[in-house]
Amino acid sequence: MKKYTLFLLVVIMAIFSCQTLAATDPAYIIPKPGSVVKLKRSLLVEGGRVKVYLQRGEVVRRWDLDHYYPSCNFELYKLPQSSTTIRPGSFKVVRTVRDIDYMVQSDWPQRAGLSRVSSDGGGLSMIIHVVNMYIKSSRQPNVYKLTCRSWQAHPHEAKEPNIADMREALGNIASIRMRGR
């Protein structure tokens, strides 16, 4: 009985030590409330759209994103009828939410009896880790969110975007100053 108690204690300690490592490892750090996003140049949001995407320090159309590299997008509350500009300035991060989106692509329809064997039931699966930073600026109240994502081809390769990934996506267009730094 003592063996099992000792084993259980070691397992519990290992679990808690991993959580502490993840919380202090720079690879897992994301902006917290109180951090500041600084937009360094104007961004044009096309009429009828609410998002402008950034990847590798450049503005990119949504359908031109490279899904194997981190990207970010600024988002507006209200849908503009005509093109509008997000002006340079500072935005305070008021809330940060981690999320995971799942995408599954089905295989083409096949005739009965002619299906191939697949370990995942067919189709390509992708996991998209997302960090939503709800931002606020009294000068630009319609700009409310900066979302950064890390796309991967297979679920076992998926990872959450960290601050380095976000900064790579934003390039010289915007910067993130972490709270307390």
Answer whether 81's CB lies under 8 Å from 116's CB. Answer: no
Share of residues in the chain with pLDDT > 90 (%) = 56
- Asked whether residue 162 is assigned to any structural domain, the reply reads yes
Q: Which of 173, 157, 178 is nearest to 71 (CA)?
A: 173
Buried b (16+ CB within 10 A) or exposed e, 49-81: bbebbbbeeeebeeeebeeeebbbbbbbeeeee
* Position 57 in a domain: yes
Tell whether 139 is covered by a domain. Answer: yes
Of 180 and 2, the one with more pLDDT: 180
Q: Does any domain span residue 95?
A: yes
Within a domain: residue 141? yes
Backbone phi and psi for residue 177, each to the nearest 5 degrees, phi listed first: -105, 120
Q: 130-140: per-residue pLDDT in tens? A: 999 999 999 99
pTM of the model: 0.75
What is the per-residue pLDDT for 51?
98
Is residue 86 a part of any domain in this protein? yes
For residue 8, being part of any structural domain is answered with no
Tokens of 103: 């995408």
Average pLDDT over residues 24-45: 87
Give the structural domain span for 146: 31-110+119-177
Say which residue, 181 or 40, is predicted with more confidence: 40
Whole-number pLDDT of residue 112 = 54
pLDDT at 118: 46
172 part of a folded domain: yes
Which range, 124-133, 145-154, 161-170, has the best average confidence (pLDDT)?
161-170
pLDDT tens-digit profile of 38-62?
999 999 999 999 999 999 999 999 9
CB 87 within 8 A of CB 42: yes
163 or 13: whose pLDDT is higher? 163
Beta bridge partners of 90: 38
* Count of domains observed in the chain: 1
* Of the candidates 149, 145, 94, the residue with the CA atom closest to the CA atom of residue 127: 149
DSSP tag of 40: -
Taking alpha carbons only, the member of 127, 122, 128, 126 closest to residue 106 is 122
What is the per-residue pLDDT across 96-140, written as a single tens digit (0 to 9) for each?
999 887 776 665 555 555 444 444 455 567 788 899 999 999 999
